[in-house]
Amino acid sequence: MSAQESDAPSMPSGRPHTGRARNEQVRQAILASTVALLAEPGKGGITIEAVARQAKVGKQTIYRWWPTKSALLIEAFTGEARNSVPDIDTGDVACDLEHFLMRTFNAVRTPVVSGALRALIAGALADEDSAEVLRGYAAERRDALTAILTRARQRREIAADADLRLAAEQTMGYIWYRLILADTPLIDFTSDALAAALLRQLGHR
């Protein structure tokens, strides 16, 4: 072995690269902190500074992934919704729809989600940023439901001329009504009844 070779620094072998994993953990911590802060009473108008303190990161770390507060809030809420209500394709629209509505009702019943949504609704009346976040969240949930119904139409489980957008908006409108105005809680039995009514409307076969 030459002197040059013996003096060369030894390189570690098989060492896992953890930078990407650490970055994803930080990113998820920021998203979770955003949802948690919005759910706290009086925190409807949260700031990037508040999220940074909660997540124990610098503001620039947040801006690295989200250029605006609205972008952060939209991703936080849509991500929370997708995690709480995953899209499961069982091959049967009745099962898919019942699963979607039951998981949606369960998510909306949790204090973190219901508190955050009510805070956004209150803020949307006076703040365009909050209104943009609320529109983005509502559109993502409506599109998720429409995707389930679209698969059903492709499998000929519902009528070919069924108005899927109208059905999705009616369903989500009912959930928003129950969240904001109704004096009775969302319960699993109600989700089953809502799924059955929606399927009848769509000409389920």
pLDDT in tens, 174-204: 988 888 876 666 776 788 899 999 999 999 9
Half-sphere exposure of 25 (CA within 13 A, CB side): 6
* Residues 101, 175: Cα–Cα separation, whole Å: 9
The pLDDT value recorded for residue 58 is 94
Which residues have a Cβ under 8 Å from the Cβ of 103 and sit 6 or more positions away? 84, 85, 86
> Residue 137: exposed, middle, or buried by beta-carbon count in 10 A (0-12, 13-18, 19+)?
buried
Q: What percent of the chain has pLDDT over 90?
A: 40
Higher pLDDT, 122 or 25: 25
What's the pLDDT score for residue 10?
A: 44
Question: What does the block give as tokens for 146?
Answer: 């429409």
Average pLDDT over residues 24-38: 90
- pLDDT at residue 63 greater than cutoff 80: yes
- Confidence class of residue 42 from pLDDT cuts 50, 70 and 90? low
Q: Which CATH architecture has domain 19-68?
A: Orthogonal Bundle (1.10)
pTM of this structure: 0.73
Q: Angle CA(161)–CA(166)–CA(168) in degrees, nearest 5?
A: 110
How many whole angstroms separate alpha carbon 85 and alpha carbon 91?
Answer: 17
Domain 76-201: CATH architecture, name and number where available:
Orthogonal Bundle (1.10)
pLDDT in tens, 81-120: 788 888 889 999 999 999 999 998 888 888 777 777 777 7
Burial class (CB in 10 A: 0-12, 13-18, 19+), 66: buried
Domain boundaries defined on the chain: 19-68, 76-201
In the block, residue with structure tokens 């069982």:
90
- CA distances to 73, 80, 95 from 99, rounded to whole Å, are 26, 17, 6
Q: How confident is the model at residue 54 (pLDDT cuts 50, 70, 90)?
A: very high
pLDDT for res 41: 64
Average pLDDT over residues 160-181: 91
